[in-house]
Amino acid sequence: MTTHDDGPGGRDDRHPTGNRQGGVLADSVRVEAFSDGVLAIVITLLVLNLRAPEQRGAMLHELFQQWPAYVAYLASFGYVGVIWVNHHQLFTRIASVDSGLLWRNLALLLTTSVLPFPTAVLSSAFQLGDRYDQVTAVVFYSLVAAVMAGTWLMLFHYLATHGHLLARQTSASFFAQERRRALLGLVAYLVAALVAQWQPLAGLVIAAVLPVFYGLTSEGWAMPWAARG
């Protein structure tokens, strides 16, 4: 059973463990601050997909006509929010960082920063496009999300095999278990891309449900069961 306890001192109980494996270690605070800044910019950029009506005398109609843009905005805002919560939970279990972790964290931020683009494509396809455009948009969105799940998988695997980076009361086995959660997302988003070629709306539903799962399991997939043990 995996356990994690911040202890009476909260995050102060995390400790840099020194250079145990030949790499230069540093505190994780700067990484978290940089990551929070990137995620804040991404979540702000999403609103640029919404545009003011331009046709005189038909503003109300144009506002209603943009409903796919509103749905895409809310879904992606929630998605980035879930990423931020998961990222926060991740770093409560990390004491120090090395170059390997830094590069993997940057890969996660890269895929997250791309998210406003497939969101805009998705919104445009369901507002203005035909069925082929909708298929293309959902497949594109799902593939970007699958790549992002792959970056989580890389992060979890790295932490599962580099226990010297972890906080005192966090076991490397926790991240070994978390790899299953990332792998599930990777496979599910690929399934969404495949389903979208048959029915784009069904593929979109699969892609929209997955962030809910990640939000509910942000403290770890095994945590509810472990708490009962």
pLDDT tens digits along 181-210: 899 989 999 999 999 999 998 988 888 888
Q: Report pTM.
A: 0.79
Distance CA(66)–CA(47), nearest Å, equals: 13
Per-residue pLDDT of the chain (229 residues), as tens digits, is 344 444 433 444 444 444 444 455 677 788 899 999 999 999 888 887 777 767 676 778 777 877 777 877 888 888 899 999 999 989 989 988 999 999 999 999 999 999 889 988 988 888 888 999 999 999 999 999 999 999 999 999 999 999 899 888 888 888 988 899 899 989 999 999 999 999 998 988 888 888 888 888 878 766 444 433 3
Give the single-character DSSP code of 2.
Answer: -
Give the single-character DSSP code of 20.
Answer: S
pLDDT tens digits along 139-160: 999 999 999 999 999 999 999 9
* φ, ψ (nearest 5 deg) of residue 62: -65, -35
Coil, strand or helix at 1:
coil
Distance CA(102)–CA(108), nearest Å, equals: 10
Long-range contacts of 84-87 (CB under 8 A, 24+ apart): 84/36, 84/39, 84/43, 85/215, 85/218, 86/152, 86/214, 86/218, 87/35, 87/39
